[in-house]
A = this chain, B = another copy of it.
Amino acid sequence: MAQKLRQRLYIIIFGTDTPAGKAFDVGLLIAILLSIIAVMLESVPSLQQRYGAIFSITELILTVAFTLEYITRIYVTERKRKYIFSFYGIIDLLSLLPTYLSLFFTGTQYLLVIRALRLLRVFRILKLGRFVGEGEQLGRALRASRHKITVFLGSVVTMVMIMGTVMYLVEGGENGFTSIPRSVYWAIVTLTTVGYGDIAPQTILGQTIASLVMIMGYAIIAVPTGIVTVELGKDRKKQEKRTCSECGNSGHSSDALYCKYCGAQL
């Protein structure tokens, strides 16, 4: 009897194929979103003064609910240890702690934004196979180009450190370049074309060097883009080439072991 209840709960909580399972997941997402919005709005002073109590109560209720959910998850799954130490298991636990900690320490309730990570569950609901596949494809492209990206980032960091020091020497403290770390920060702001304008070169030599950094940044952005594009294109081609010998369908992701149309081994 308890065994049956556990199994049914398991299907509702962990599954996403039954109507009940889907409804549970949608409800969970809404609750997560609500709690994140409450935390965010609570930080706005004017709202905090007026609706502070409502926010606190919402948070408390939701955290109790999430705690119950967490306990139930552990209860109904058979591979308890595996769940607890899985990615989602750790996130589920971490998203509970801040509220309890905030009873003892002030300020910790903001860590509740970790709950945002739970939103990643949304991909589970939408798992029409597509989203997971797309995410995997993006991830594979990024992983395949990680060496090139490391070389690229290494060069950028070296360049930024040298340009920052040069600007510190050229402009000096009176123009806002008060220290090398601050000048390096300026170099990053400029190279990435963010350009806050809180620090900006004033001397003609400084502006000339800054112009060089900007044009470099403008040209350099082509590199990561080129890398990711080529990898994505390559991945797609591989996928198109993999054909099932049983049913003849192609388009299998490059690490699939079985045909997604007929189940035959690839």
Contacts of A224 in B (CB 8 A): 218-219, 221-222
Which one of A73-81, A82-90, A154-162 is at the B interface? A154-162
Oligomer copy total: 4
Interface size on A, residues (CB 8 A): 86
26 A–B contacts from the bound complex (CB under 8 Å): A36-B161, A41-B181, A44-B179, A44-B180, A110-B169, A113-B161, A120-B154, A122-B154, A131-B147, A134-B151, A135-B151, A138-B227, A141-B226, A149-B219, A153-B215, A181-B204, A185-B211, A193-B195, A193-B218, A194-B195, A194-B217, A195-B197, A219-B224, A222-B225, A225-B228, A229-B229
Contact A222 B233 (CB under 8 A): no
Contact A200 B192 (CB under 8 A): no
Contacts of A43 in B (CB 8 A): 168, 179-181
Contacts of A231 in B (CB 8 A): 226
Contacts of A40 in B (CB 8 A): 161, 165, 179-181, 184
Give residues in A with beta carbon < 8 Å to B: 36, 39-41, 43-45, 107, 110-111, 113-114, 116-117, 119-120, 122-123, 130-131, 134-135, 137-138, 141-142, 147-154, 156, 158, 161-162, 165, 168-169, 173, 178-182, 184-185, 188-198, 200, 204, 207-208, 210-211, 214-215, 217-219, 221-234, 236
Q: How far is the CB of A76 from chain B (nearest CB, A)?
A: 27
Q: How far is the CB of A32 from chain B (nearest CB, A)?
A: 11
Contact A188 B162 (CB under 8 A): no
Given known pairs A117-B158, A134-B151, A193-B194, the reply for A44 and B181 (CB within 8 Å) is yes
